Structure 1
Protein backbone atom coordinates (compact mmCIF):
# COMPACT_ATOMS: atom_id res chain seq x y z
CA UNK A 1 0.00 0.00 0.00
CA UNK A 2 1.17 3.50 -0.68
CA UNK A 3 1.98 5.95 2.04
CA UNK A 4 -1.03 8.12 1.13
CA UNK A 5 -3.48 5.21 1.53
CA UNK A 6 -1.94 4.33 4.88
CA UNK A 7 -2.36 7.90 6.11
CA UNK A 8 -5.99 7.97 4.91
CA UNK A 9 -6.71 4.70 6.72
CA UNK A 10 -4.91 5.93 9.84
CA UNK A 11 -6.93 9.14 9.72
CA UNK A 12 -10.16 7.18 9.30
CA UNK A 13 -9.25 4.93 12.22
CA UNK A 14 -8.47 8.00 14.38
CA UNK A 15 -11.82 9.50 13.38
CA UNK A 16 -13.71 6.34 14.35
CA UNK A 17 -11.90 6.01 17.65
CA UNK A 18 -12.64 9.57 18.74
CA UNK A 19 -14.88 9.79 21.77
CA UNK A 20 -17.45 11.94 19.95
CA UNK A 21 -18.15 9.31 17.31
CA UNK A 22 -18.58 6.56 19.90
CA UNK A 23 -20.83 8.81 22.02
CA UNK A 24 -22.92 9.63 18.96
CA UNK A 25 -23.30 5.95 18.05
CA UNK A 26 -24.40 5.12 21.59
CA UNK A 27 -26.86 8.04 21.53
CA UNK A 28 -28.41 6.81 18.27
CA UNK A 29 -28.84 3.27 19.58
CA UNK A 30 -30.31 4.47 22.89
CA UNK A 31 -32.52 6.94 21.00
CA UNK A 32 -33.90 4.18 18.79
CA UNK A 33 -34.70 2.03 21.83
CA UNK A 34 -36.22 5.02 23.61
CA UNK A 35 -38.38 5.78 20.56
CA UNK A 36 -39.87 2.29 20.77
CA UNK A 37 -40.71 2.82 24.44
CA UNK A 38 -42.38 6.17 23.79
CA UNK A 39 -44.29 4.85 20.77
CA UNK A 40 -45.57 1.95 22.87
CA UNK A 41 -46.62 4.36 25.62
CA UNK A 42 -48.49 6.56 23.16
CA UNK A 43 -50.16 3.68 21.33
CA UNK A 44 -50.93 1.64 24.44
CA UNK A 45 -51.89 4.32 26.97
CA UNK A 46 -52.27 7.83 25.55
CA UNK A 47 -54.18 7.02 22.35
CA UNK A 48 -56.79 4.91 24.18
CA UNK A 49 -57.23 7.66 26.79
CA UNK A 50 -57.71 10.29 24.08
CA UNK A 51 -59.76 7.80 22.08
CA UNK A 52 -62.14 7.39 25.00
CA UNK A 53 -63.96 10.38 23.51
CA UNK A 54 -64.38 8.60 20.17
CA UNK A 55 -62.59 5.74 18.48
CA UNK A 56 -59.81 3.83 20.23
CA UNK A 57 -57.34 4.57 17.43
CA UNK A 58 -56.42 8.20 16.79
CA UNK A 59 -55.33 7.33 13.27
CA UNK A 60 -58.99 6.73 12.35
CA UNK A 61 -59.94 10.37 12.96
CA UNK A 62 -60.33 12.09 9.62
CA UNK A 63 -62.31 14.64 7.72
CA UNK A 64 -63.24 14.82 4.06
CA UNK A 65 -63.03 17.48 1.41
CA UNK A 66 -65.51 17.63 -1.46
CA UNK A 67 -67.95 14.74 -1.36
CA UNK A 68 -68.51 12.69 1.81
CA UNK A 69 -65.88 9.98 2.19
CA UNK A 70 -67.16 6.50 2.02
CA UNK A 71 -64.90 3.69 3.10
CA UNK A 72 -65.31 0.04 2.42
CA UNK A 73 -62.87 -2.24 4.20
CA UNK A 74 -60.68 0.76 5.04
CA UNK A 75 -60.46 2.05 1.46
CA UNK A 76 -61.48 5.53 0.45
CA UNK A 77 -64.15 5.36 -2.18
CA UNK A 78 -65.15 8.97 -2.65
CA UNK A 79 -63.76 12.37 -1.62
CA UNK A 80 -60.40 13.62 -0.32
CA UNK A 81 -59.58 12.44 3.21
CA UNK A 82 -57.75 14.66 5.70
CA UNK A 83 -56.11 12.30 8.22
CA UNK A 84 -55.79 14.69 11.15
CA UNK A 85 -55.88 11.83 13.67
CA UNK A 86 -52.48 10.54 12.58
CA UNK A 87 -51.10 14.10 12.84
CA UNK A 88 -52.53 14.40 16.36
CA UNK A 89 -50.97 11.04 17.28
CA UNK A 90 -47.58 12.14 15.94
CA UNK A 91 -47.78 15.46 17.81
CA UNK A 92 -48.63 13.64 21.05
CA UNK A 93 -45.72 11.25 20.49
CA UNK A 94 -43.38 14.19 19.91
CA UNK A 95 -44.59 16.10 22.98
CA UNK A 96 -44.30 13.06 25.24
CA UNK A 97 -40.84 12.25 23.88
CA UNK A 98 -39.70 15.84 24.36
CA UNK A 99 -41.10 15.96 27.91
CA UNK A 100 -39.49 12.67 28.92
CA UNK A 101 -36.14 13.66 27.42
CA UNK A 102 -36.27 17.06 29.14
CA UNK A 103 -37.41 15.91 32.58
CA UNK A 104 -35.43 12.67 32.76
CA UNK A 105 -32.24 13.67 30.95
CA UNK A 106 -31.75 17.39 30.27
CA UNK A 107 -33.02 18.84 33.56
CA UNK A 108 -31.10 16.47 35.87
CA UNK A 109 -27.92 16.89 33.79
CA UNK A 110 -28.17 20.69 33.87
CA UNK A 111 -28.71 20.61 37.65
CA UNK A 112 -25.72 18.29 38.03
CA UNK A 113 -23.52 20.53 35.88
CA UNK A 114 -24.65 23.65 37.78
CA UNK A 115 -23.89 21.98 41.12
CA UNK A 116 -20.49 20.87 39.82
CA UNK A 117 -19.73 24.41 38.62
CA UNK A 118 -20.69 25.82 42.05
CA UNK A 119 -18.44 23.30 43.79
CA UNK A 120 -15.58 24.10 41.42
CA UNK A 121 -16.04 27.83 42.01
CA UNK A 122 -16.09 27.28 45.77
CA UNK A 123 -12.95 25.15 45.53
CA UNK A 124 -11.18 27.86 43.51
CA UNK A 125 -12.31 30.50 46.02
CA UNK A 126 -10.94 28.44 48.93
CA UNK A 127 -7.70 27.96 47.01
CA UNK A 128 -7.40 31.71 46.48
CA UNK A 129 -8.07 32.36 50.17
CA UNK A 130 -5.47 29.75 51.09
CA UNK A 131 -2.92 31.37 48.80
CA UNK A 132 -3.68 34.79 50.24
CA UNK A 133 -3.51 33.41 53.78
CA UNK A 134 -0.16 31.77 53.13
CA UNK A 135 1.14 34.95 51.58
CA UNK A 136 -0.07 37.01 54.53
CA UNK A 137 1.54 34.60 57.02
CA UNK A 138 4.81 34.74 55.13
CA UNK A 139 4.65 38.55 55.13
CA UNK A 140 4.01 38.55 58.89
CA UNK A 141 6.98 36.24 59.46
CA UNK A 142 9.16 38.47 57.29
CA UNK A 143 7.99 41.59 59.13
CA UNK A 144 8.66 39.93 62.51
CA UNK A 145 12.16 38.93 61.39
CA UNK A 146 12.84 42.43 60.11
CA UNK A 147 11.54 43.95 63.34
CA UNK A 148 13.64 41.56 65.40
CA UNK A 149 16.71 42.33 63.35
CA UNK A 150 15.91 46.04 63.50
CA UNK A 151 15.68 45.97 67.34
CA UNK A 152 19.20 44.57 67.56
CA UNK A 153 20.56 46.50 64.64
CA UNK A 154 24.03 48.07 64.31
CA UNK A 155 25.29 49.89 67.34
CA UNK A 156 23.14 47.99 69.82
CA UNK A 157 25.54 45.10 70.28
CA UNK A 158 22.91 42.40 70.36
CA UNK A 159 23.73 38.74 70.31
CA UNK A 160 25.59 37.63 67.26
CA UNK A 161 27.01 41.10 66.74
CA UNK A 162 30.72 41.87 66.75
CA UNK A 163 31.96 43.51 69.91
CA UNK A 164 31.20 43.09 73.52
CA UNK A 165 27.66 42.62 74.75
CA UNK A 166 25.85 45.08 77.04
CA UNK A 167 27.30 43.42 80.21
CA UNK A 168 30.92 43.72 79.12
CA UNK A 169 33.22 45.39 81.62
Structure 2
Protein backbone atom coordinates (compact mmCIF):
# COMPACT_ATOMS: atom_id res chain seq x y z
CA UNK A 1 0.00 0.00 0.00
CA UNK A 2 2.91 2.38 0.72
CA UNK A 3 4.30 1.69 -2.76
CA UNK A 4 0.96 2.54 -4.37
CA UNK A 5 0.79 5.74 -2.33
CA UNK A 6 4.29 6.76 -3.50
CA UNK A 7 3.26 6.12 -7.13
CA UNK A 8 0.10 8.15 -6.63
CA UNK A 9 1.97 11.10 -5.12
CA UNK A 10 4.69 10.94 -7.79
CA UNK A 11 2.18 11.37 -10.61
CA UNK A 12 2.35 14.72 -12.35
CA UNK A 13 -1.34 15.42 -11.81
CA UNK A 14 -1.06 15.39 -8.03
CA UNK A 15 1.97 17.66 -8.04
CA UNK A 16 0.29 20.01 -10.52
CA UNK A 17 -2.80 20.12 -8.32
CA UNK A 18 -0.72 20.91 -5.24
CA UNK A 19 1.10 23.73 -7.03
CA UNK A 20 -2.22 25.06 -8.32
CA UNK A 21 -3.70 25.07 -4.83
CA UNK A 22 -0.71 26.93 -3.37
CA UNK A 23 -0.67 29.52 -6.15
CA UNK A 24 -4.45 29.85 -5.94
CA UNK A 25 -4.41 30.53 -2.22
CA UNK A 26 -1.64 33.10 -2.65
CA UNK A 27 -3.60 34.72 -5.49
CA UNK A 28 -6.70 34.82 -3.31
CA UNK A 29 -4.74 36.69 -0.65
CA UNK A 30 -3.61 39.22 -3.27
CA UNK A 31 -7.14 39.73 -4.57
CA UNK A 32 -8.51 40.08 -1.04
CA UNK A 33 -5.92 42.74 -0.33
CA UNK A 34 -6.72 44.49 -3.62
CA UNK A 35 -10.43 44.55 -2.81
CA UNK A 36 -10.03 45.58 0.83
CA UNK A 37 -7.33 48.20 0.35
CA UNK A 38 -8.00 49.69 -3.08
CA UNK A 39 -11.40 48.84 -4.58
CA UNK A 40 -13.55 49.14 -1.46
CA UNK A 41 -12.21 52.59 -0.53
CA UNK A 42 -12.94 53.75 -4.09
CA UNK A 43 -16.49 52.41 -3.88
CA UNK A 44 -16.80 53.79 -0.36
CA UNK A 45 -15.92 57.27 -1.60
CA UNK A 46 -18.99 57.19 -3.83
CA UNK A 47 -21.22 55.69 -1.14
CA UNK A 48 -20.01 58.06 1.55
CA UNK A 49 -18.28 55.41 3.64
CA UNK A 50 -14.64 54.48 3.44
CA UNK A 51 -14.95 50.86 4.55
CA UNK A 52 -17.66 48.69 3.00
CA UNK A 53 -17.16 45.95 5.57
CA UNK A 54 -18.63 48.31 8.17
CA UNK A 55 -21.99 48.29 6.38
CA UNK A 56 -24.37 46.54 8.74
CA UNK A 57 -28.14 46.19 8.80
CA UNK A 58 -29.46 45.86 12.35
CA UNK A 59 -32.84 44.30 12.94
CA UNK A 60 -33.47 43.83 16.61
CA UNK A 61 -30.41 42.17 18.07
CA UNK A 62 -29.40 40.61 14.73
CA UNK A 63 -26.66 42.19 12.64
CA UNK A 64 -26.50 41.52 8.91
CA UNK A 65 -23.01 42.42 7.66
CA UNK A 66 -23.85 42.96 4.03
CA UNK A 67 -20.63 44.98 3.55
CA UNK A 68 -18.59 41.81 4.07
CA UNK A 69 -20.87 40.06 1.62
CA UNK A 70 -20.21 42.79 -0.96
CA UNK A 71 -16.45 42.29 -0.34
CA UNK A 72 -16.83 38.58 -1.02
CA UNK A 73 -18.77 39.21 -4.23
CA UNK A 74 -16.08 41.61 -5.49
CA UNK A 75 -13.37 39.07 -4.61
CA UNK A 76 -15.24 36.35 -6.46
CA UNK A 77 -15.78 38.48 -9.56
CA UNK A 78 -12.12 39.47 -9.77
CA UNK A 79 -10.90 35.89 -9.29
CA UNK A 80 -13.45 34.55 -11.79
CA UNK A 81 -12.41 37.17 -14.35
CA UNK A 82 -8.70 36.37 -13.96
CA UNK A 83 -9.40 32.63 -14.26
CA UNK A 84 -11.49 33.34 -17.37
CA UNK A 85 -8.62 35.30 -18.94
CA UNK A 86 -6.14 32.59 -17.94
CA UNK A 87 -8.26 29.81 -19.49
CA UNK A 88 -8.79 31.91 -22.61
CA UNK A 89 -5.02 32.36 -23.02
CA UNK A 90 -4.39 28.65 -22.48
CA UNK A 91 -7.07 27.73 -25.03
CA UNK A 92 -5.56 30.14 -27.53
CA UNK A 93 -2.08 28.64 -27.08
CA UNK A 94 -3.47 25.11 -27.24
CA UNK A 95 -5.48 25.90 -30.36
CA UNK A 96 -2.40 27.43 -31.99
CA UNK A 97 -0.40 24.28 -31.20
CA UNK A 98 -3.16 22.11 -32.67
CA UNK A 99 -3.22 24.23 -35.84
CA UNK A 100 0.55 23.88 -36.13
CA UNK A 101 0.25 20.11 -35.79
CA UNK A 102 -2.51 19.98 -38.39
CA UNK A 103 -0.55 22.19 -40.77
CA UNK A 104 2.40 19.79 -40.78
CA UNK A 105 1.94 17.23 -43.54
CA UNK A 106 1.30 13.76 -42.24
CA UNK A 107 3.83 11.13 -43.20
CA UNK A 108 2.28 8.49 -45.47
CA UNK A 109 1.57 5.16 -43.89
CA UNK A 110 3.55 2.06 -44.78
CA UNK A 111 0.65 0.82 -46.89
CA UNK A 112 0.63 4.06 -48.89
CA UNK A 113 4.38 3.71 -49.47
CA UNK A 114 3.95 0.15 -50.77
CA UNK A 115 1.08 1.19 -53.03
CA UNK A 116 3.23 4.01 -54.41
CA UNK A 117 6.04 1.57 -55.16
CA UNK A 118 3.58 -0.77 -56.90
CA UNK A 119 2.25 2.11 -59.03
CA UNK A 120 5.81 3.10 -59.96
CA UNK A 121 6.62 -0.49 -60.95
CA UNK A 122 3.45 -0.72 -63.07
CA UNK A 123 4.32 2.53 -64.82
CA UNK A 124 7.78 1.16 -65.67
CA UNK A 125 6.25 -2.03 -67.09
CA UNK A 126 3.85 -0.03 -69.32
CA UNK A 127 6.73 1.83 -71.01
Q: TM-score normalised to the size of structure 2?
A: 0.84
Partner of 2:8: 15
Instruction: Work out which structure has the larger RCO, using CA pairs closer than 8 Å and 6 or more positions apart in sequence.
Output: 2
| Structure with the bigger percentage of helix | 2
Partner of 2:103: 122
3-state SS of the aligned residue for 1:141?
helix
List runs of 5+ in structure 1 lacking aligned partners: 1-7, 67-78, 149-169
Partner of 1:29: 22
Q: CA deviation at 1:136?
A: 7.8
CA 10–138 in structure 1, closer or farther in 2 if over 3 Å, else same: same
The match for 2:120 among 116, 141, 158 is 141
Equivalent pairs, count:
125
List runs of 5+ in structure 2 lacking aligned partners: none
Partner of 1:84: 66
Partner of 1:164: none
3-state SS of the aligned residue for 1:116?
helix
Partner of 2:40: 47
3-state SS of the aligned residue for 1:127?
coil
Q: TM-score normalised to the size of structure 1?
A: 0.65
The match for 1:59 among 43, 49, 53 is 53
RMSD: 2.3
Partner of 2:91: 110
- Rg comparison, structure with higher value: 1
3-state SS of the aligned residue for 1:81?
strand
